[in-house]
Chains A and B, each alone.
Chain A
């Protein structure tokens, strides 16, 4: 450990906000995707100026900077892969700085937890729309860096649609700002989703939406996964875009029921969780249309949540699904691909085939309305055969998604894991064009 690094960081942010002891660093050496190595130091700055100072010090001493929100990322972006580097934690930069209710926007620090933002503006009858399943812990900064999506992004769009302006510390430690209303290039759009590779976000103006007047949640059960996915294609094909349209298969439903007793039918092969937010006046017509489509596609049952508590229970099952599976499986690996919505049935069949060929159990819980699949491959990491099977299944799913006209990541990101796979969807020229952007922000 470089003594002058620790000392200079301590001078910049206060010694109590610098960690260098291996036992303290260990906590920061993994994220929800994988385990990396120990960074050289972790700093917890209190504001933009300190972030800037930290980046300058790291740069002078040749240490890479790694921004870290809650560490729920699934692309290995918040950890030190090769060891060393300075991790910047935003644990102390977690405030809502300004709330402009008249114009429905808020300025926030990057460490603010996603759900807390919605909670803090709820009394103004506003909410922040992007809602990753990790929203109880993931941060706005992490969401911005990964362009996080969530169930409600079907109708509201992903994080990038909700970021109005950014304050960023660049590779030299200098601060710059972007705003979607600025003339010139839309740098905000490039920064969102850049996985921290183009700079460190120190504050953001985000868009808030009005809380809906009325919200209804329904659950449709199906005898097989094919008819459930055909129903999704049919709903979207009919020009109906619910606020959320999520699918869970039997593996997930059983795990969820065991964990939460959410009230899902355990005899179904697949369920669709459908939400529409809007106005009471149109809800009955809406429900009738959805019900008709799902019936035509062979649904077994249709249930409407009658109370807010029932609604919350249905959602709690969905939001806790991955965790619930974690209780019954020693390990799991989440693949993340998107396909055009009309080929969902084919895509799910491909997932099934890939898993069974590799003798693996797969659970599906995903943003069906967006065509964004999350097959969860259940395995035991102590079993070398299973580890190999997970890798080849994951790869087969990627291949199938690409063949169906889809992409290799819908929301979790590329990180280290899918770097190589980028060449399967993009040509050398395409990638070189992206590299031109990278050169401008980080010439090293």
Chain B
């Protein structure tokens, strides 16, 4: 059973608006593949193209190696789990699950056996005769999964299926979804704007922005080696420092970070970084750590603005002394302990260091990135180097 999905130069236009820019992508059979991106970036559109609800303006979709052009929704080897689940409210749980089999002319007894089996797969034995309106949110979720699996799809398409659930249930369902995927070996294509979901469940993730796939990689690579500024800011938290490339030797890059002076970093994957090019240095909060004056390696002098205790870690909001830019620092539990003995108080001046391997340098390619304060996508125009004055940065010492 080949559940591979290929997108071949797929483009989707609505009138003048291009929702999906030319996209080529191969999803392997049995893979848990996620599309991750902010609202409106075209995730649902892409899913609808795979399921057949939309016909791409250009390019083609292949499922199991077969071109899907002209194959209507009800003939495709896919099944969809809708964001609002779309269970049939006038039918019982049994009837819901068996609907797809009824359509295929499966006899009543075989249907009932199949639905009993699926109910035990989703751990809801015995609720078959109930009306779906009598179920709780999490139970409905499972029935939707069972209903989709009943037709034995080669590819299961999930459009933010957990977004309606509360946090606890959502985390529980993540594990459950992943387990079901392993057990069945079906290709899962999962859509979400929640990076936690994408990173914990997926074999590979495609990060999307404005109709374009920014990077396709396994979660670890995505986190460690983002290939564009957008991915660096959207996946996990990142501090961004604007800079100019001084020189590059293999992986290692030296940049001129304006008022901060010269800083070392690691070149992002396949990033073309010529000398003198406008770039950005991305350092994650957990990769920054306090160092003593005169220690080797890069040094950044900051004032602590505020401190947030988060149980296992300590989150510091700091301001760079040289450029007044904000920098977020996450201290692990060992260091966090020191806060209880009077260290790391607001107003304190400390020196931060980092391992150059942990700081990724990416060309400032004008790709859209997330504004860290509003969480919205902003277009950065290429070449506007120089420190961006963070809002509300009046007086450094006022804290």
Chains A and B are bound partners: no
